[in-house]
Structure formats: C-alpha cells, structure tokens
Amino acid sequence: MGNYDKEINRRRTFAIISHPDAGKTTLTEKFLLYGGAINLAGSVKGKATARHAVSDWMEIEKERGISVTSSVLQFEYDGFCINILDTPGHQDFSEDTYRTLMAADSAVMVIDASKGVEAQTRKLFKVCGMRGIPIFTFINKMDRDANDTFELLDDIEKELGIETCPINWPIGSGKGFKGVYDRKRKCVITYSDTEKGTKEGASKEIDSNDKEGLLEAIGEDALGTLNDEIELLDGAAADFDIDQVRNGKLTPVFFGSALTNFGVQFFLEHFLEMTTTPLSRKSDAGVISPAEHDFSAFVFKIQANMNKAHRDRVAFMRICSGKYEASMEVKHVQGNRVMRLSQPQQIMADERKILDEAYAGDIIGVFDPGVFSIGDTLCMPKEEFRYEGIPTFAPEHFARVRQIDTMKRKQFVKGVEQIAQEGAIQIFREFNTGMEEIIVGVVGVLQFDVLKYRLENEYNVEIKLEPLPYEHIRWITSTDTDLDSIVGTSDMKKVTDLKDHPLLLFVNPWSVKMVLDRNEGLTLEEFGRN
Ligand code: G4P
C-alpha cells in the first residue's frame, strides 16, 4: 500500500466558510488563478456574472442571489492536489454546510475586515470546533476601511474562543492601505492594486532594516504606527505553534484583499505548508488511516438535478482511505451489497469527466439510483465497517403538506421521499390516523420554498403547505415502548420518520418533561441518526 503514499500526502482538502459577502467566492476564484482548475462542481460565482453561480442548479438561487448548494473544486498548485469544499453562506442551508464540513480536513474562514466576526461565521465555526480541525483566518477587504487590527483579533478570540497568531500584519487600510508586514521574514510587502483577475504582480519586498526604503514606500506615519504595533504584537500575541494549529486551538491569521489579489498567494503558500494531509477517520472498527488502508469513503451529500441537461441525482463521497479505481467493486455497507459505482466522475460546471482514479482526500460524485443516504459507508467487498455518522439537526419548523391535484398522489409521495433522502427536508407520517398525511420538518424555512419549487418543477406536482406549531422533536429511543399506549399532552403529535422510527412532536418544551414523567421507561432523544 506504500504506493498510495505520495498521492495521498500531496492532497489537501479544506472547506471555505464565511458570512455571506465577506469574499469567499472572490478568494476561491483567486486561488484558482494560481493553479489550473481541474474540477469544478456546483457553483463559483463569477465576477462577470455578478451574483450568479456558474452552475445555478435552481432558479431559486438566481432569484434570491444566494448559493443554495455546496460545491467542490479541485486544482493543482506547486505539487499539491487541492480540494476546496465551498459551503453555502445562507443560514437556511446550514445543515448542508455542516455535512460539508464533515468531509473537510481543515477550514479557511474569510472575515470582512470592516465587519469582524458575523453571525454565520460563528455558527459554522462551532461545527469546526466540534471536529477540532485546523482553522485558518483570512481577513479580507483591507483595501477598504477596516476595523482596528487588534480589535479584529480580539473579536475572533472572544467570539470564537480560539487564539490568534497573525502571520502578517496590515499597514493601514482603505485608501491608506500600504501593504503587510511579514512577521517571519521581517519584511514589508507593499500593496499593489493589480487588476482583477491577474496574478499578484508589482508588490515590492523591503527588509525591515532598510529604513530608507521603508520610509519611501510607506511614509513616516505608517512606519511609526507599524513599529509600535509590531512591538505590541510581539509582546502580546500567542506564539506560533503548529500543534495548536492542528488541534484547532490556534488560528493563523492573514490579511489581504481578495478582490485586488493582494495577499492571496502569500496565504495559499503558508496555508499549504501548515494544513494537514488527509486525516484519519473514526469508524466502528477503529481509526482508519488514509494511507494504510484500502479504499473507503462516506457519503456526505446527495444532490438532485445538478445539471438540467442531466436530470439525475448525484451522491458526493469523501474518500477516506486508499485509492479508487474505475470499475472497481465496492461494498455499500448500509445497503449490504457489493456494487460498481456508477460512472464516478469529476463534475465540471458544465461538463462531466469520468474518473479513472481518485485518492483519499478526494471527493467523487457518483450517480445515485436512489440507494444512498447521507452518512453511508463504502469500502472493499471483503470488509465491513461504518464511519461515524453525520449528526442530523433537529428540524425547528413543521408544515403539513398536501398535493393540490389528488390524482397526483404517486408523483407527490415519490418526490417528497426523494427530496427527504437527499437530506434537504425530513418527512414524517402521522401515526395511525389512516389519513396518510405527510408532515415536513426543516431547519430553515427557506427549505419549504425549495420543496415547493422542486415538486412543481421536477415532479410536476403543486402543493399546499400548512404551517404547524411544533418546534420540539424527540425520537423515541426506548425499544419496548408501545406508541399506542403513550400518555401524551394536548400539544403533542405522534409520528414516524422516513425509516419508520417513532417520534413525538411538541409545541411546548415543558410538555417533553411532562410526557417523560407520565410514561415510565420512555426515553427520548433530540437528534436523529443517519
Ligand atoms: P461571498 O462569496 O463570501 O458571499 O462574497 P463574494 O466573493 O461574492 O464578495 C462579495 C462582495 O465583496 C463582492 O462585491 C466582491 O466584489 C466584494 N469583495 C470581495 N473581496 C473584496 C476585497 O478584497 N475588497 C473589496 N473592496 N471588495 C471585495 P459585490 O459588489 O457584491 O459584487 P460584484 O458586483 O463586485 O460582483
């Protein structure tokens, strides 16, 4: 298996996270300039197309100017093979984002220098924290007036509870932005406002001992401030410690401007040096190490209708160990069957390329005839283990959903079930009412619109959604509980999920406790399992 080592060790797989508009897309585009993009899946919003993704898979994205789906990009740079997992910024799609983070080995957090830590960053960061993966911070838009640098760092430390270590330091901001100071090499790199879309060019490097050169480049005032700030920083900031970075306890911080392409290559080079090779993953058979194990992968995302020309469903998997070779037989553990992955592919924005091979760290998309669910494991036929599940988040909004044309019952049920398998919504059936009503639960209300839109456009079924007041969901985990005999409260509803697991919905949080008190032996859990 030693021959995998080289390919695996040159892989770097990371997620890029930010609050909407901080500049994630612009930064990603600039990364791609430094290497040939060899794989694009989903969306990169091009500058020319303003707010639109290259591959908006749904009109809804265009209408609302948001990126609904996560996408995957692969490119080569300096001998590295880099996989970027883009995450949708809109809070309503947080669940998809959480899953995407599960597939990454580190995260790059983009922060708008004039805004600091924003709501969405905070949320995403929590998930990174849960996994203990390394986090790298790029403070963007230094070409605009920025908050005080120390305040920005303080904000990250306080809001996110992680120590910061600036790798470079900005000299001014906005119209007065003069460049950055490289703390390791002790030199100033002057700001050059290169044209959009070009590589970094005309920056100059001036050694910190070259007083004359510095005075000429950044002026007396800026130099005085820089000297003071560096002195303060050297005394106060955490020392760089790669182990702390790898454990997600310390975030290296970089300053730059993605739009004008300043500081991007500096970031990329330092990042690649500091981030990790594909990480080992936990399974029920112990820790699986990427280079010391044959092929294995897990499904972290299922997406339908990615490309209107191909009406299909694609399961995205993260390869966790070994090498995937075309037409190889693999075992789908949860489905308990051996199969060949149907046309594993790299998916370009407008074209698809069948893959011959892929390695641990890579993300592949395979056609899914409806067999995969989020969290499923694939491994070699002779083996059987399961990767740790991806947590599902408890839905907080519920609605009863009905098709308007009763003749379309079949398409309606098929559509709702397929969309639920993709993990975009959760569906529940009322227990024992005989009415065959479907209740939909979502984490963010925008998903209701997505459901309506997709049923109309993909399944030709119009629906009516009737909001329900439930906010609290509990799966029944005690195995000997008879659903019929549960003594409930007036605000409680008994339902079953897609996999026929029984659960209870409540309007009031205190009813949960009351029901537990009234039913001896009953145990409830807030999170479902994939
Ligand atoms: P996102 O993916 O995180 O949502 O952000 P995106 O890259 O789309 O950037 C959001 C806006 O911020 C864009 O402007 C973009 O041009 C701008 N921007 C990104 N990086 C920088 C930077 O370093 N400096 C400055 N000054 N602006 C930056 P927009 O007006 O919303 O879009 P557009 O009309 O320019 O496309």
- For 120, half-sphere exposure in the C-beta direction (CA atoms, 13 angstrom radius) is 24
pLDDT in tens, 322-342: 998 877 899 999 999 999 886
Ligand 1 lined by 389 (C-beta under 6 Å): no
CATH of 281-379, picked from 3.20.20.70, 1.20.1440.130, 2.40.30.10, 3.30.70.360, is: 2.40.30.10
Distance 20 CA to ligand 1 centre (A): 9
Q: Between these two residues, 182 and 132, which has the higher pLDDT value?
A: 182
pLDDT in tens, 92-108: 555 677 788 889 999 99
Closest-lying ligand 1 atom to the alpha carbon of residue 256:
23
Lowest-pLDDT range of 3-17, 122-136, 180-194, 306-320: 306-320
Fold category of 14-72+96-274 in CATH: Rossmann fold (3.40.50)
Residue range(s) of every CATH 3.40.50.300 domain in the chain: 14-72+96-274
Q: How far apart are CA 368 and CA 193, in angstroms?
A: 46
Ligand 1 lined by 257 (C-beta under 6 Å): yes
Q: Which amino acid is at 53?
A: A
**Residue 327's closest CA among 338, 342, 313?**
342
Q: Burial level of 5, CB count in 10 A (0-12/13-18/19+)?
A: middle
Mutate to test the pocket of ligand 1, among 18, 26, 32 (most ligand atoms within 8 A of CB): 26
Ligand 1 lined by 259 (C-beta under 6 Å): yes
Structure tokens at 128: 């990174």
Which residues, at least 6 apart from 241, have a Cβ–Cβ distance to it below 8 Å? 165, 250
pLDDT in tens, 144-163: 999 999 999 999 999 888 99
CA angle 42, 45, 46 (to 5 degrees): 125
pLDDT in tens, 477-520: 888 888 888 999 999 999 988 878 899 999 999 999 999 999 99
Evaluate if residue 43 carries a pLDDT over 50: no
Pairing relation of β-strands 179-182 and 187-190?
A: antiparallel
Query: How far does CA 180 lie from the centroid of its chain?
Result: 29
Distance 24 CA to ligand 1 centre (A): 8
Structure tokens at 138: 């790029």
Residue range(s) of every CATH 3.30.70.3280 domain in the chain: 391-529
Residue range(s) of every CATH 2.40.30.10 domain in the chain: 281-379
Q: What is the pTM (predicted TM-score) of this model?
A: 0.80
Task: Supply the CATH classification number for the domain 391-529.
Answer: 3.30.70.3280
Ligand 1 lined by 83 (C-beta under 6 Å): no
Q: Return the pLDDT at 88.
A: 66
